């Protein structure tokens, strides 16, 4: 019954249009995830990604068009009591309109993307795009790059900063690090089992404390450990001050295994 209720609520928001405006093409390729028991990696397909996280201003337009997602109307099944904290039904304070929207649940983020003919990125897509620095597709082995990310995670009040002021990475994307954490479509996929692409839950405890390093491909990538630890703690209705999102869109090319 809950699944039917969720479906009926979410599909009220029919995709309005498809667009590539304010998105950049991320060329796919072979990618070895942070957790990869098989050790063979995965193939990431080409996709478009929003250049910056969704802002309060953009999300306000969404809730005005789809009032079922207003703070006062959203069912607790789809968002906890922290959803859009600080908002009234007229929206957020004008001073934060250009900053990344936060305190938004996975259900709400997913609905927003679908209303634009887009979707949330998978963990692999997000991590693949975010492993690039300004000049390299994969900067994960660079200790300076990783320390810069960690410092951004430690900065207080970063969620109130305006989006788009960081240097663009190799793909032309901004603010993947440093402002807010970001929802992914399959945020809890890794903790579902010992083999991250299967649904048995034999080794989910390995993602906690020291056990988290067992299947990690890079023991020095503390920034990635932090992201996976956060994802493992989330539920789809949670809304956090430090958590926002951005959307992706498939290319017109056929997707293949």
Residue 37 — pLDDT band, cuts 50, 70, 90? low
pLDDT in tens, 88-102: 878 999 999 999 999
pLDDT at residue 204, rounded to an integer: 39
Q: In terms of CATH architecture, what is 23-250? A: Alpha-Beta Complex (3.90)
**Predicted local confidence at residue 152, as pLDDT:** 81
The percentage of the chain sitting over the pLDDT mark of 70, rounded to a whole number, equals 75
Vertex 62, ends 58 and 65: CA angle to 5°? 140
**pLDDT tens by residue, 75-132:** 999 999 999 999 987 899 999 999 999 999 999 999 999 999 999 999 999 999 999 9
- pLDDT at position 8: 44
**Using 50, 70 and 90 to split pLDDT, how confident is the model at 228?**
confident
* CA–centroid distance for 104 within its chain: 11
Q: How far is CA 163 from the centre of its chain?
A: 15
In the Cβ-directed half-sphere of 60, how many Cα atoms lie within 13 Å? Answer: 17
Instruction: Round to whole Å and give the CA distance between 176 and 42.
Output: 21
pLDDT in tens, 242-254: 999 999 999 986 5
Greater model confidence, 208 or 15: 15
Identify the residue whose tokens are 């990431």: 44
Domain segments of the chain: what residues? Answer: 23-250
């Amino acid at each position: 019954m809950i699944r039917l209720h969720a479906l009926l609520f979410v599909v009220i928001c029919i995709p309005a249009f498809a667009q590539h405006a304010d998105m950049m093409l991320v060329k796919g390729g072979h990618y070895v995830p942070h957790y990869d028991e098989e050790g063979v990696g995965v193939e990431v397909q080409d996709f478009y990604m929003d250049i910056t996280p969704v802002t309060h201003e953009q999300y306000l337009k969404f809730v005005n068009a789809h009032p079922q997602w207003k703070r006062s109307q959203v069912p607790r099944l789809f968002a906890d009591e922290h959803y859009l904290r600080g908002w009234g039904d007229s929206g957020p304070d004008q001073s934060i309109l250009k900053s990344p929207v936060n305190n938004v649940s996975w259900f709400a983020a997913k609905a927003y993307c679908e209303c634009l003919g887009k979707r949330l990125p998978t963990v692999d897509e997000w991590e693949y795009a975010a492993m690039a620095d300004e000049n390299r597709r994969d900067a994960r082995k660079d200790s300076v790059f990783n320390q810069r990310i960690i410092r951004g995670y430690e900065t207080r009040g970063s969620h109130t900063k305006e989006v788009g002021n960081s240097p663009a990475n190799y793909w032309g994307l901004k603010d993947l690090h440093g402002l807010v954490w970001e929802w992914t479509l399959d945020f809890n996929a890794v903790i579902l089992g010992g083999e991250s692409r299967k649904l048995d839950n034999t080794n989910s405890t390995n993602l906690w404390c020291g056990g988290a390093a067992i299947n990690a491909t890079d023991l020095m990538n503390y920034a990635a450990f932090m992201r996976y630890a956060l994802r493992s703690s989330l539920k789809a209705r949670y809304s956090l001050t430090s958590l926002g999102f951005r959307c992706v869109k498939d290319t017109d090319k056929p997707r293949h295994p």
